[in-house]
Structures are given as C-alpha cells and as structure tokens.
Amino acid sequence: MAILGIDIGGSGVKGAPVDTVRGELLAERHRVPTPQPADVTGVVEAVAEVADAFSGYDRIGVTFPGVVVDGVTRTAANVDKSWLDAPAAQLFSDRLGRPVSVLNDADAAGVAEVAFGAGREQPGLIMMLTFGTGIGSALFLDGTLIPNTEFGHLELHGADAELRAADRAREQEELSWEKWADRVQEYLRHVEMLLSPRLFIVGGGVSKKSDKFFPLIDIRTPMVPATLLNNAGIIGAAVTAEQAGGHPGAIQVDAADAGSRPD
Ligand code: BGC
C-alpha cells in the first residue's frame, strides 16, 4: 500500500510517497515554503498542496514540531500558537479526505533511523536528538518509540537547553564550532546522566557537518550521525501511518518491526 509522508519544517513542508518496507522514497519529494506565520489554516493548505502533487496513496503520515497526543497538537514552541490544542489529525484528514496520522518531528525522524538508518538493529535504549531550530528528542526501547519526550526543553543554566545548544543558537550567535560543541557536550552529558542510553543518534541539518563537531565532543555514550538526513521525517511519518492502520490518533510505532518485514 502506498503511503504518503509529509514533514512540516520551519522553512519547508516536504512530502513524497514512501516504500515503508525498504524505507525509501518512491518519487522525488515535493516541497512548498512553510507559510509565515505558520498558523493552522496556512499549514493545512501547504500540506494539501504537497499531497496534491501525488496520487494513488491511501493514508498519510504528517510530522509536527511539537507534542502530539491522540492526533491533537499540545505545544507550539517554534510554530504559531494557533496549534495549541488543535485537532491536527482531524483537520488534515478532513482536508485531504484520507486517514492521517500526526506525530512529533523528532519521533518521526527517530522511527526512520531506528528502522532503516543509524539505529537499525540496535537493542536497548537508543536516543535520537535533532539539532535544528530547536532540539528534538526521540527515545526507543528495543525499537519501540516512547513518544513526545521533549528533552530539548531540559533546563540548563536556568534556561531551556535548546535556546543554548540548538543549531539555531550556533547560527544566530555566530558561535565557533568549538564554542557550540562545548554547549552540545554539556547538554549531552546532562542527558546521559539522566537516561544512560546505549547510543545517541544525532540528526538535523547540522548532522551533515558531523566531522566539524563530533571530534570536539567528549562523552561516554557512543554517538553516530543520522544517515537518512532530509528524508527521515517523511519516511518515519509514513511508517507510523502504516502502523496506525488508519486510526488517526494511534502512534504505537515499532520501528524495529518496520525494517524487518519481508519484501
Ligand atoms: C519542540 C519539539 C520538536 C523540536 C524540533 C522543540 O522546540 O518542542 O517538539 O521536536 O523543537 O523541532
């Protein structure tokens, strides 16, 4: 069954149909700019524009950069406040005429990495962290997602950690790699003290430049860059929509299962 994955990001809404067994896009992605302000009405239309570029799919998975519980968006740290308590899955499926699953963006990227990328066949507690506008987190135990962990908002020096250590802080404050890596190291040490994961998978656009900052970070937990990069959110959203079986609220995702099914 063809499933469409759509990733709502700070600057673009991107989507493509996904082969959820192989974890690959079945067509070139279609991208439209994220409307500003990124309010509910504008983003629903942008998602519809992306979906309209494709045909022949039955379900859709959509990522959102905030907490999503039972298809309802609960937080909106880096998007328009009209998303607070919005019935997102319902709004998208009313507009698109098909079942839609909505999940957190970092959770979706993690699902893809654990099923098909850097976290494949990794048992135990695995943590994906995305460094972008904010810091997203996704926690997996033996391949099963524990959704909405929001570890980007841990408090460090009396402030939200993502305000100091996200890639946006590096860009806006024009930090050197050394200075930024110091902050990331402090953040990662805090997370490893709290959770002792077996592995950190580092995603977000900056993970393409991992050679610039990985060598500067000294922590006990092994750390690897994400491998699916730009497509992780799209792929993870589609895998989640498939496993939800048409129930918009369900995000019971077993990423380990997704990668291991026969062709
Ligand atoms: C949000 C998370 C999101 C992350 C990355 C944070 O500010 O609270 O839900 O995953 O940014 O977009």
pLDDT in tens, 43-68: 999 999 999 999 999 999 999 999 99
Ligand 1 centroid vs 65 CA: distance in angstroms?
Answer: 5
The helix/strand/coil state of 183 is helix
Q: Tell me how far the alpha carbon of residue 158 is from its chain's centroid.
A: 26
CA-nearest of 30, 27, 7, 9 to 17 is 27
Residue 244: is its pLDDT beyond 90? no
The answer to whether 3-107+229-257 and 121-225 have equal CATH topology is yes
Quick one: which atom of ligand 1 is closest to the CA of 148?
9
| 72, 73, 135, best to mutate for ligand 1 pocket (most atoms within 8 Å of CB) | 135
Quick one: which atom of ligand 1 is closest to the CA of 130?
5
Residues with CB under 6 A from ligand 1: 65-67, 75, 77-78, 104-106, 130, 132-134, 136, 150, 152, 162
| 34, 68, 73, 75, best to mutate for ligand 1 pocket (most atoms within 8 Å of CB) | 75
Quick one: which atom of ligand 1 is closest to the CA of 66?
9
Residue 1: is its pLDDT beyond 70? no
CATH of segment(s) 3-107+229-257: 3.30.420.40
pTM for the model stands at 0.94
CA distances to 52, 85, 105, 144 from 8, rounded to whole Å, are: 15, 17, 8, 23
Percent of the chain past pLDDT 70, that is, above it, reads 94
Per mean pLDDT, which range of 149-163, 226-240, 247-261 is the poorest? 247-261
Q: pLDDT tens digits for 15-41?
A: 999 999 999 999 999 999 999 999 999
Q: pLDDT tens digits for 94-122?
A: 999 999 999 999 999 999 999 999 999 99
Quick one: which atom of ligand 1 is closest to the CA of 105?
10
| Extents of the domains making up the chain | 3-107+229-257, 121-225
Atom 9, ligand 1: which residue's CA is nearest? Answer: 66
Ligand 1 centroid vs 2 CA: distance in angstroms?
Answer: 28
Atom 6, ligand 1: which residue's CA is nearest? Answer: 134
Q: Which structure tokens are listed for 195?
A: 């959770």
Spatial distance between the Cα atoms of 248 and 251, rounded to a whole number of angstroms = 8
Ligand 1 centroid vs 134 CA: distance in angstroms?
Answer: 5
pLDDT, position 252: 52
Quick one: which atom of ligand 1 is closest to the CA of 162?
7
Atom 10, ligand 1: which residue's CA is nearest? Answer: 136
Ligand 1 centroid vs 263 CA: distance in angstroms?
Answer: 34
Residue 196: how many other CB atoms lie within 10 Å: 12
Spatial distance between the Cα atoms of 1 and 185, rounded to a whole number of angstroms = 42
What value, to the nearest 5°, has the Cα angle with vertex 61 and ends 202 and 160? 40
Residue 261: is its pLDDT beyond 70? no
CATH topology of domain 121-225: Nucleotidyltransferase; domain 5 (3.30.420)
Concatenating the DSSP letter of every residue in 189-257 gives HHHHHHH--SEEEEESGGGGGHHHHGGG---SS-EEE-SSGGGHHHHHHHHHHHHHTT-TT----BHHH
pLDDT, position 262: 41
